[in-house]
């Protein structure tokens, strides 16, 4: 059997080249910026689970006409006083969580189509941040909060086309617990009468343009804009429908949920609309009826207390 011979060269005869220090690979700042930009430009896919356009190249604006007016609970870059047309704001939606309990639902507002296509519902539109991760968190929370409501796309009109928001309207204090006990103040009543003509007449209608509005964020990129609104239709399980003002007021005064008393929702909504200078006959009538009932209960309680003291 032959043997395999391995010849090892003489180290002295075979000199290997001396290796210097291993060079450090450095990326230029321009290259790093380019790489970062490439990574940042990678499209996100958060929008897919919501059935919405891409979060990367779309600006979203959400129209609020109920509790969002005083309790947003999400970040926003700008707010605009606006209205939609062809709808009525009505206390026809039931809530067994936020303002009521199972078997004793509270009442909150929804929007239903109006026979009058020019009828207006005033509220505020909130421009959401551009960051896709923030949008993902906001829409996740909103879809839970607005359970039973459908997210729909709407046309929004500027409530005061010449100067953006109602800048001529005096700033009124935020709603307080006093709203539970007091009648509409003369200040609110006067404001409502003055501003209704200011808002509803004398100026050409103008669709909301967030790129031209005085409240718009500075230097915002021009993207496709989607205006959204949450609406509970008559088909949803929580819909409780029409009732007399007295019946609705009685229900509202006796219901409460995890977000607080149902009456708080009604009184805060009415206060917010008055502070905007907006009018809403349905909301204001229900607000007045509920407060009249409260005054009657307080008077009855006071009379009963006097009778007890008289017998003592």
Query: Which has more pLDDT, 205 or 14?
Result: 205
Q: How many domains is the chain partitioned into structurally?
A: 1
* Residue 44 to residue 4: CA distance in whole angstroms: 62
Instruction: Identify the pLDDT of residue 221.
Output: 86
Say if CB 276 and CB 193 are below 8 A apart: no
> What percent of the chain clears pLDDT 70, i.e. is strictly above it?
68
Q: Is the pLDDT of residue 41 over 90?
A: no
pLDDT digits (tens, 9 = 90+) for 283-297: 999 999 999 999 977
**Exposed / middle / buried, residue 92 (Cβ in 10 Å: 0-12, 13-18, 19+):** buried
Q: Is the pLDDT of residue 171 over 50?
A: no
Instruction: Identify the pLDDT of residue 193.
Output: 37
307 confidence band (pLDDT: 50, 70, 90): low
Query: Annotated catalytic, 146?
Result: yes
Assess if residue 181 is contained within a domain.
Answer: yes
CATH number for 216: 3.10.490.10
Assess if residue 14 is contained within a domain.
Answer: no
| Structural domain span for residue 62 | 47-300
Query: Which has more pLDDT, 11 or 157?
Result: 157
Assess if residue 207 is contained within a domain.
Answer: yes
Active-site entry in 73, 79, 118, 146? 146
Q: Is the pLDDT of residue 59 over 90?
A: yes
Assess if residue 55 is contained within a domain.
Answer: yes
* Residue 94 to residue 153: CA distance in whole angstroms: 23
220 confidence band (pLDDT: 50, 70, 90): confident
Do the bridges between strand 224-231 and strand 58-64 make them parallel or antiparallel, or are there none, so unpaired? parallel
First to last CA, the chain: 130
User: In the predicted model, what is the mean pLDDT of residues 290-309?
Assistant: 72
Assess if residue 192 is contained within a domain.
Answer: yes
* Residue 124 to residue 65: CA distance in whole angstroms: 7
Least confident of 75-89, 180-194, 235-249: 180-194
6 confidence band (pLDDT: 50, 70, 90): very low
Q: Is the pLDDT of residue 173 over 70?
A: no
175 confidence band (pLDDT: 50, 70, 90): very low
Assess if residue 132 is contained within a domain.
Answer: yes
User: In the predicted model, what is the mean pLDDT of residues 2-30?
Assistant: 46
Tell me phi and psi for residue 255, to 5 degrees.
-115, 155
Residue 60, classed as helix, strand or coil, is strand
User: In the predicted model, what is the mean pLDDT of residues 191-214?
Assistant: 65
Total count of residues recorded for the chain? 312
């Amino acid at each position: 059997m032959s043997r395999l011979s391995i010849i090892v060269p003489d180290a002295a005869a075979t000199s290997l080249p001396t290796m210097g220090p291993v060079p450090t690979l450095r990326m230029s700042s321009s290259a790093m910026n380019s790489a970062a930009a490439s990574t940042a430009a990678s499209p996100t896919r958060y929008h897919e689970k919501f059935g919405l356009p891409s979060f990367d190249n779309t600006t979203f604006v959400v129209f609020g006409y109920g509790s969002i007016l005083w309790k947003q609970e999400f970040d926003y870059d700008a707010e605009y006083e606006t209205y939609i047309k062809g709808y009525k704001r009505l206390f026809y939606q039931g809530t067994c969580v936020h303002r009521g309990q199972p078997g004793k639902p509270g009442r909150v507002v929804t929007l239903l189509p109006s026979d009058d296509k020019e009828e207006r519902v005033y509220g505020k539109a909130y421009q959401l941040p551009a960051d896709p991760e923030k949008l993902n968190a906001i829409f996740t929370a909103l879809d839970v909060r607005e359970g039973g409501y459908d997210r729909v796309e709407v046309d929004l009109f500027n409530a005061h086309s010449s100067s953006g928001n109602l800048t001529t309207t005096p700033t009124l204090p935020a709603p307080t617990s006093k709203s539970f006990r007091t009648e509409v103040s003369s200040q609110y009543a006067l404001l409502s009468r003055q501003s209704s003509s200011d808002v509803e007449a004398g100026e050409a209608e103008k669709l909301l343009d967030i790129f031209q509005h005085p409240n718009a964020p500075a230097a915002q990129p021009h993207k496709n804009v989607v205006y959204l609104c949450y609406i509970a239709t008559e088909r949803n399980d929580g819909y409780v429908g029409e009732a007399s003002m007295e019946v609705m007021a009685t229900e509202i005064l006796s219901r409460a949920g995890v977000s607080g008393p149902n009456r708080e929702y009604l009184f805060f909504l009415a206060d917010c609309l008055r502070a905007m200078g907006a009018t809403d006959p349905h909301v204001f009538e229900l607000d007045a009826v509920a407060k009249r009932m409260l005054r009657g209960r307080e008077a009855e309680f006071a009379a009963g207390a006097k009778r007890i003291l008289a017998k003592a």
